Structure 1
Amino acid sequence: MDVGAAAAAATTPRPTFNVTFFASPAGWFKIAEIILGLLVFALLAPNGYYRQIPGLEFVMFVAVFVWILTIVLTVIYMFSLHSTVISGAPWDVIEFAFNVFCTLLYFIGAIVEAAFVGSYSVWVASTVFAWFLLIVYGCHTLYAYRVWKGELACLGGSNAGNDVNT
């Protein structure tokens, strides 16, 4: 192995499992978003009938799309990839923009779902969870905004990556 490659390998930061992420408010928001998001699309999808109602297809798209993106961001923070492998990105801004995007999508999705759901009890439950999830994403948006603007330092000053070592 050449000396330059060995030196580069020695100085490259390695991802580590960040257990403290789940002890932070941002971690709590992510956990709630994952659980509620799963409930929204799991309650909407059991019989496949939602495919016959175009509005509910949109709600299913929103629920699954946002849920997958939330999982991806959670994995990035959970393994501290934001501060090691992809550390050059403005994670505070990314987290804020992501939450604004999710809040807007769920706002539209919850209204559409409420309009098309009828009296089918499982879909009513899905609608209720969609509104709860909208509230969680809205609160997370406010939290991310305050972190981005420097009003909250509980992220350890290291991007939205939730290194809770303050």
Structure 2
Amino acid sequence: MDEERPRSNTVTTTTSSYSENFSSSASFSYDRNFIWTAPGLFLLAEIIFGLLVWALIAGSEYFHFPAFGWVMFIAVFSWVLTVFFLLIYITRAYTKITKVPWTLVGLCFNGSAFVLYLVAAIVDASSISKDIPRRHNYNSWTASAFFAFLVTGCYAASTYFSFQAWRTRS
């Protein structure tokens, strides 16, 4: 006759929760000290001065002058991407998205934004004329040209800091 083996009372179970894995890998930390670093301060300056550039132009009748349309495009496009980078750096999302070479991306963005903003600032300043019938446009465009050159300087400094970060990580 077959003897019955004694049954084991030990039961081993394993559970895996998708939400636990997702929440631990997708949590972003807040880096409040980034704002007080030199790259953080230049990023904030780019956002503030860039907002002034396109707000001053958008408040005028820029659509009658194609040159100001170009300046608006560069100002708004750069401003949106700069806000995106600020969010990436403040939330430290670059530490979670490791497939992207963030130092190289930052260097390419800041370098191209510097060149495009330099061209836009020159176009902005050279398109201003006293012969404009409405004095409001003249004052707005003059102020926008001033702030465009400030933003250009900020992007130049950010390009320098991005180059330093890229060089040390390469």
The CA deviation string for residues 130-152 of structure 1, in whole angstroms up to 9 with x for no partner, is 011111101110111011111xx
Bigger shift: 110-119 or 65-74?
Answer: 110-119
Q: What does 1:1-166 align with in structure 2 at a 5 Å threshold? A: 2-3=15-16, 5=18, 8-9=21-22, 12-47=25-60, 49-84=61-96, 86-119=97-130, 120-150=138-168
Bigger shift: 127-136 or 13-22?
Answer: 13-22
| Identity percentage of aligned residues | 31
| Poorly superposed stretches of 4+, deviation over 4 Å | none
Classify the secondary structure of the residue corresponding to 2:28: coil
RMSD between superposed Cα atoms in Å: 2.1
CA deviation after TM superposition for structure 1 residue 9, in Å: 3.5
How far, CA to CA, are the matches of 1:40 and 1:27 in structure 2? Answer: 20
- Give the letter for the 2:89 counterpart: Y
Distance 1:148 1:118, change over 3 A: same
How far, CA to CA, are the matches of 1:53 and 1:141 in structure 2? Answer: 31
CA deviation after TM superposition for structure 1 residue 6, in Å: 6.0
How far, CA to CA, are the matches of 1:10 and 1:109 in structure 2? Answer: 43
How far, CA to CA, are the matches of 1:45 and 1:10 in structure 2? Answer: 42
Aligned residues: 150
CA deviation after TM superposition for structure 1 residue 80, in Å: 1.0
CA deviation after TM superposition for structure 1 residue 87, in Å: 2.3
CA deviation after TM superposition for structure 1 residue 97, in Å: 0.5
How far, CA to CA, are the matches of 2:49 and 2:24 in structure 1? Answer: 40
How far, CA to CA, are the matches of 1:18 and 1:11 in structure 2? Answer: 17
CA deviation after TM superposition for structure 1 residue 21, in Å: 1.1
- Give the letter for the 1:57 counterpart: G
CA deviation after TM superposition for structure 1 residue 92, in Å: 0.7
Distance 1:9 1:42, change over 3 A: closer
Show structure 2 runs of 5+ residues with no match: 1-13, 131-137
How far, CA to CA, are the matches of 2:23 and 2:149 in structure 1? Answer: 48
Show structure 1 runs of 5+ residues with no match: 151-156, 160-166
The CA deviation string for residues 52-105 of structure 1, in whole angstroms up to 9 with x for no partner, is 000110000110110000001111111111112x12211111111010110011
How far, CA to CA, are the matches of 2:47 and 2:19 in structure 1? Answer: 40
